[in-house]
Amino acid sequence: MGSIMEASLFTRKLETEIGGGVQRLKSQGHTPSLTVIVVGNSPSTMVYFKNMAHKGVELGFYVELRKVDDSVGSAEVLQLIHRLNDSNDVDGILVGLPLPKEYDVESILHAISPDKDVDAFHPFNMGQLMIGKPRFIPATARSIIALLENYGVRIQGKNAVVVGRSTIVGKPVACLLLQRDATVTICHSKTVDLINYTREADILVVSMGRPKAITAEYVKEGAAVIDVGINHIEGKIVGDVDFDGVRPKASLITPVPGGVGVLTTLMLFDNVLKAARLNVERL
Ligand SMILES: NC(=O)c1ccc[n+]([C@@H]2O[C@H](COP(=O)([O-])OP(=O)(O)OC[C@H]3O[C@@H](n4cnc5c(N)ncnc54)[C@H](OP(=O)(O)O)[C@@H]3O)[C@@H](O)[C@H]2O)c1
């Protein structure tokens, strides 16, 4: 029976480190700050970002939620981003996704200054990650690597299979695994016979957005299985992995909720702290 990788076991240490970094900057007269632009009126999106803001404030950050009516359009959001880019008081900028479909997502995300791009969506930051010199690493990808490392999973030389090729999870985590000398395969919806790949995985990272799609037959005996999925089914949150079916076969497995997602917010604020340090150096 596989052990459960509980993120909560090391969140306290991470919170202490981040909180300490925040206090050091405050003692130099700078309060690290994040501005989140939330377009539209989706109550669930607002709840998500309010919870995130709450955690940031708890850690000592100044967090501002800038709610924008979805009728304003891309041009106004771009103007807001330019103002935030120019403000010395703003260290990190984040745009809530998904944006309403009439918005030009790419130009909005790419307008954020690479120095304040704490989600690491800017081509400059993606390029830095690709060449192995990351400045900001997307928070979920960082969380996945942190879980593997904290549970002593050897990455070097292992077969790592990532199911999902999103810019926010699949591609960056594949990149980080490759940099740690895993042999990496990225699968997606057009992959033929997915099972032939996943069954070879010593490390299986699943970020598909398909509830319980990965069942025991997809998993190699003894694999470390990281489930990134967050799916809302009948009032419950479930992952992309059939936890109960897969656990007996895996050596390690993340729960949903309680796994990757727990760390993602902390990793994001660690990126904000880094952005704040860079900002202070520039001032
Ligand atoms: N825990 C966290 O911190 C966190 C953070 C971000 C996202 N998430 C969750 O993770 C899940 C995935 O989100 P995401 O943004 O990474 O991905 P996404 O943009 O939703 O895309 C899903 C990916 O899965 C692939 N896929 C879909 N069906 C597949 C199938 N049957 N076989 C193989 N591949 C398939 C897609 O392939 P194509 O590219 O070919 O379409 C795509 O690359 C969601 O549930 C999301 O809520 C969690």
Encode pLDDT of 103-128 as tens digits: 999 999 999 999 999 999 999 999 99
- The predicted pLDDT at position 252 comes to 98
Window from 70-74, 214-218, 226-230 with minimum mean pLDDT? 70-74
Using 50, 70 and 90 to split pLDDT, how confident is the model at 42? Answer: confident
Measure 166 CA to ligand 1 centroid, in angstroms: 6
Report yes or no: 238 and 231 within 8 Å, Cβ to Cβ: yes
- What is the gyration radius of the CA atoms in the chain, in angstroms? 19
Q: Using CA atoms, how far apart are residues 215 and 199, in angstroms rounded to an integer?
A: 11
- 3 state SS of 111: helix
Q: Is 118 exposed, middle or buried (0-12, 13-18, 19+ CB in 10 A)?
A: buried
Question: pTM value?
Answer: 0.96
Mean pLDDT of 249-261: 97
Residues with CB under 6 A from ligand 1: 140, 163-166, 168-170, 187-191, 194, 207-210, 228-231, 260-261, 264
Task: Give yes or no for residue 176 having a pLDDT over 90.
Answer: yes
Amino acid at 88: N
Domains contained in the chain, CATH given? 27-115 (3.40.50.10860), 139-262 (3.40.50.720)
Task: Give yes or no for residue 248 having a pLDDT over 90.
Answer: yes
Alpha carbon dihedral 117, 167, 13, 238, in 10-degree steps, equals 130
Q: Using CA atoms, how far apart are residues 118 and 139, in angstroms rounded to an integer?
A: 8
Quick: pLDDT tens for 116-172.
999 999 999 999 999 999 999 999 999 999 999 999 999 999 999 999 999 999 999
Closest ligand 1 atom number to CA of residue 240: 45
- The predicted pLDDT at position 94 comes to 97
Q: What is the mean pLDDT of the chain?
A: 96
Share of the chain above pLDDT 70, in %: 100
Using 50, 70 and 90 to split pLDDT, how confident is the model at 66? Answer: very high
Terminus-to-terminus CA distance in the chain, angstroms?
A: 53
Closest ligand 1 atom number to CA of residue 188: 34
Measure 207 CA to ligand 1 centroid, in angstroms: 4
Report yes or no: 137 and 108 within 8 Å, Cβ to Cβ: no
Closest ligand 1 atom number to CA of residue 169: 16
Using 50, 70 and 90 to split pLDDT, how confident is the model at 283? Answer: confident
Quick: pLDDT tens for 217-240.
999 999 999 999 999 999 999 999
